[in-house]
Amino acid sequence: MSVAIVTGSAGLIGSESVSFLVEKFDIVVGIDNNLRQYFFGEDGSTKWNTERLTNQHSNYKHHGIDIREFAQLQKVFEEYGNSIKLIIHAAAQPSHDWAAKEPITDFSVNATGTLNMLELTRLFCPDAVFIFTSTNKVYGDTPNLLPLFETETRWEIETSHPFYKEGIDESMSIDQTKHSVFGASKVAADVMVQEYGKYFGIKTGIFRGGCLTGPNHSGAQLHGFLAYLMKCAITGQQYTIFGYKGKQVRDNIHCYDLVNMFWHFYQNPKAGEVYNAGGGRFSNCSMLEAISLCEKISGNKINYTYSDTNRIGDHIWYISDLTKFKNHFPEWNWKYDLNVTLEEIFNGQRSRL
């Protein structure tokens, strides 16, 4: 029997992982207690996604467990033991704005919850592959020190800089920078996942994501940039741009493309390896450019306001360089560009609203 475990299984990356894996494993175990609703209110609830997965996939087994509860998690690991071949740890408190309100909650979910999953993997299925969804926020605000210049619709990096062609690579330091409380808790988890690879020899992969997106994202104001923006385009709800003249740049990777990265890593894993994971130069946009695209796809003008106050530790320009991953796994490539992704988000949002 082959078993995969997915934490945060009703979230964007977790649910995409479940759908991807149900045809590849005998059982896919989902762990998700809808803590996202506590973080973001009803807009953030993933209950609908749990119901969708349970109804669609007979070999999906859902557990409403909090990843901070070691004893509860242990029961799952005891049940399946060495049959567990893959763990995708996608559960998290994902907002750096929200983290400042409850730092202890944020750290306990992001850092302690990750340690719980790692230790149970070591104890019950040490040969399994452990994949962790980290974040580009581990680099803190160091990207803001890059030589940037302003255009009509975006900030961009000087063409002479080594990061211009492909984006920011894994050589950027994660030290001596302002991370936000969220970024710091994810650094702790990121480094611990590396350590379980380097020290204990567990096959761990760390994926430092840019903006992760897709049609099954429960977008809310504090998390889920493109999903929430498209929701505002459909409903007329007011959207707020926070700082940088709305020209801050993000690369955006479709959840399928990210999970497909996980799958390639699973087939040829390494111990404690770190990869940047985003849309790169293939799929990126500024806030203003995203608003324009959402208006074009939805046919509606977005009702937005502007605040001069940027979010603490927020990036002005961030594009991921995936060269390292592509060199390790040359058969992988992106499937979804920004326009196709936004059209999927629009259709998904419209069907649920």
For residues 89-107, average pLDDT: 94
**215 pLDDT above the threshold of 90:** no
198-212 pLDDT, tens digit each? 999 999 999 999 899
Task: Kindly state the tokens that stand for 150.
Answer: 């302003």
Q: Both tokens of residue 100? A: 């400042």
More confident residue, 309 or 154: 154
Q: What is the CATH number of the domain that holds 333?
A: 3.40.50.720
pLDDT for 95: 87
Is the distance from CB of 232 to CB of 239 less than 8 angstroms? yes
- Check pLDDT > 70 for residue 224: no
Q: What is the pLDDT of residue 349?
A: 81
120 — pLDDT class (breaks 50, 70, 90): very high
At 353 the pLDDT is: 65
Look at residue 222 and tell me whether its pLDDT is greater than 60: no
Number of domains in the chain: 1
Asked whether 206 and 132 are in contact (CB, 8 A), the reply is yes
- Predicted local distance difference test score (pLDDT) of residue 218: 66
pTM of the model: 0.95
pLDDT of 85: 98
Range of the domain at 117: 3-352
- Band of residue 107 on the pLDDT scale cut at 50, 70, 90: very high
Could you please report the per-residue DSSP string of 235-292?
H---EEEESGGG--EEEEEEHHHHHHHHHHHHHS--SSEEEEES-GGGSEEEHHHHHH
% pLDDT > 70, the chain:
98
From the number of C-beta atoms within 10 Å of its C-beta (0-12, 13-18, 19+), residue 271 rates as middle
**In this model, does residue 226 exceed pLDDT 80?**
yes
- 219 pLDDT exceeds 80? no
The residues facing 4 across adjacent strands are: 28, 86
Q: How many CB atoms lie within 10 A of CB 173?
A: 10
Residue pair 34/50 in contact by the 8 Å Cβ criterion: yes
Give the whole-angstrom CA distance, residue 271 versus residue 278: 21
Q: Is the pLDDT of residue 149 over 70?
A: yes
Higher-pLDDT residue of 311 and 128 is 128
Asked whether residue 270 carries a pLDDT value surpassing 70, the answer given is: yes
pLDDT of residue 257: 98
Residue partners of 134: CB distance under 8 A and separation at least 6: 186, 189, 190, 193, 206, 207, 208, 209, 274
Is pLDDT at 306 greater than 70 in this prediction?
yes
Q: What is the pLDDT of residue 220?
A: 62
Residues 93-113, mean pLDDT to the nearest whole number: 94
Task: Provide the 3-class DSSP secondary structure of residue 65.
Answer: coil
Cβ neighbours around 62 below 10 Å, total: 18
Task: Identify the residue with better confidence: 125 or 48.
Answer: 125
Helix and strand totals (H; E) in the chain: 13, 15
Reply yes or no on whether the pLDDT at 121 is more than 60: yes
Per the prediction, the chain carries an average pLDDT of 95
pLDDT at 244 over 60: yes
